Amino acid sequence: MSAPAIDTRRDPLAMRRLTRGLAALVIAWPVLTLSEFKPWLLFDGTSLAVMGGFLTGFFPPETAPGFLALLGKATLETLAMATAGTALALLIGAPLGFVTTRALSISRLGPGPGRLRGGVVRQAARWLLMVLRAIPEIVWALLFVRALGLGPAAGVLALAITYGGMLGKVYAEILESTDTRPARALLEAGSGRIAALCYGLLPNTAQELASYTVYRWECAVRASVVMGFVGAGGLGQLMDQSMKMLNGGEASSILIVFLLLVLMADMLSNTLRKLLA
């Protein structure tokens, strides 16, 4: 007796996929409604005419020597702000990430008097990282601009605080997601936490840690441009002035420089990954 033929044209998971798609649509529809998401308005005749006129003003890019000198200075300010902010964030996030990494906790090796204290310190460090990254850098920039006045210093401090919380959290997650057995073996053998970090965890995570740090620097460059609109200097402040004066050519030149900065950050990230591979 031969086995019944199986209809291979029918997808056995079709009903499940359809149900999930309908569930996603039911969830997404109220969200899109509340956000007033109406993309068809972009293709309205009036909208197309306005956008076309706005984009036409971006060509050709401004190349006057006086403006290029201002653009070069603003670019250096943006790079300095992003680099200094990321460096300070590294000084904040790396120690906190080290403290919150459970794989480096000596008290977890067994019962002891320091177990409760270690847990309290780790939890306090996690809360601190949460507070640091919870407030956007643009809010810190507004605060520091009022305290320090206009200029890149406000942006540096804003980046340091917010990005310090981000770096600390992600560093801890990267260190805990790798094979922690070498670090645990070193701790059980009497090694210190720093040695366990350097010889047990970093060899397997250095490439990912470096790549994420460069990515955060790239994000800092973008954030520096945004914070310039609130008076933190750099390309953002120059862009704000150009847009207020309706000078599309200057804005176009600023955008080109900004794209080159992001491309440079991407190339730097790839180079570091190859060196640490």
The predicted structure's pLDDT at residue 11? 63
Confidence category of residue 8, pLDDT binned at 50, 70, 90: low
Whether residue 46 is contained in a domain is answered as: no
Pairwise CA distance, residues 235 & 227, whole Å: 9
Whether residue 49 is contained in a domain is answered as: no
Q: What is the dihedral of CA 167, 171, 173, 174, to 10 degrees?
A: 130
Whether residue 30 is contained in a domain is answered as: no
Number of domains forming the structure of the chain? 1
Whether residue 168 is contained in a domain is answered as: yes
Whether residue 57 is contained in a domain is answered as: no
Query: For 229-239, what is the mean pLDDT?
Result: 80
- Token pair belonging to 77: 């300010």
Token pair 């033929």: residue: 5
String of b and e for 117-143 (b: at least 16 CB within 10 Å)? ebeeebeebbebbeebbeeebbebbbe
Whether residue 250 is contained in a domain is answered as: yes
Using one digit for the tens of pLDDT, what is the confidence trace for 143-181? Answer: 888 888 877 888 899 999 999 999 999 999 898 888 878
Reported pTM: 0.76
Q: Which domain holds residue 114?
A: 65-276
- CATH of residue 201: 1.10.3720.10
Query: If DSSP codes are grouped into helix, strand and coil, which group holds residue 59?
Result: coil
Whether residue 225 is contained in a domain is answered as: yes
Lowest mean pLDDT among 43-52, 190-199, 233-242: 43-52
Token pair 């309290």: residue: 120
